[in-house]
A = this chain, B = another copy of it.
Amino acid sequence: MRALGVAIVGAGYWGPNLARNFGGSADWDLRWVCDLDLDRASGIAARNPGTRVTASLDDVLDDDAVDAVAIATPPSTHGGIGLAAIDAGKHVLVEKPLAASVAEGEKLVRAAGRQDLVLMCDHTYCYTPAVQKIRELTNSGELGDIHYVDSVRINLGLVQHDVDVMWDLAPHDISILDFVLPEGVEPVSVAAHGADPIGAGVACVAYLTMPLSNGGIAHVHVNWLSPNKQRATIIGGSRRMLVWNDLDPAQRISMFDKGIELDDAAAGETRRQRLISYRVGDMIAPALPEYEALGAMVTELAGAIREKRASRTDGEAGLRVLRLLEAASASMAGGGILMPISRLA
State in angstroms the CA–CA spacing of A335 and B191 once bound together.
9
Contact segment of A47-55, A78-86, A111-119, A249-257: A249-257
Per the CB 8 Å criterion, the residue count for chain A at the interface is: 67
Residue ID in chain B nearest A215 by CB atoms:
B197
Does A1 make an interface contact (CB < 8 A)?
A: no
Given A195-B211, A280-B156, A338-B336 contact (CB < 8 Å): yes
Are the CB atoms of B285 and A285 closer together than 8 Å?
A: yes
From B156, B193, B221, B283, give the contact of A251 (CB < 8 A): B283
Does A162 make an interface contact (CB < 8 A)?
A: yes
Does A236 make an interface contact (CB < 8 A)?
A: yes
Contact segment of A3-11, A95-103, A145-153, A318-326: A145-153
Contact segment of A33-41, A56-64, A201-209, A305-313: A201-209
Task: Kindly provide the distance from the CB of A23 to the nearest chain B CB, expressed in whole angstroms.
Answer: 18
Residues facing B in A221-276 (CB within 8 A) are: 221, 223-229, 234, 236, 238, 241-243, 250-251, 254, 256-258, 260, 262, 271-272, 274, 276
Does A184 make an interface contact (CB < 8 A)?
A: no
Are the CB atoms of A284 and B283 closer together than 8 Å?
A: yes
Chain B residues, CB < 8 A from A214: 197
Residue ID in chain B nearest A209 by CB atoms:
B193
From B216, B223, B271, give the contact of A161 (CB < 8 A): B271
Given A215-B197, A236-B197, A274-B161, A227-B256 contact (CB < 8 Å): yes
Are the CB atoms of A281 and B272 closer together than 8 Å?
A: no
Chain B residues, CB < 8 A from A241: 225-227
Q: What 5 pairs across the A-B complex have the smallest Cβ distances?
A: A227-B241, A147-B197, A195-B217, A227-B256, A201-B271
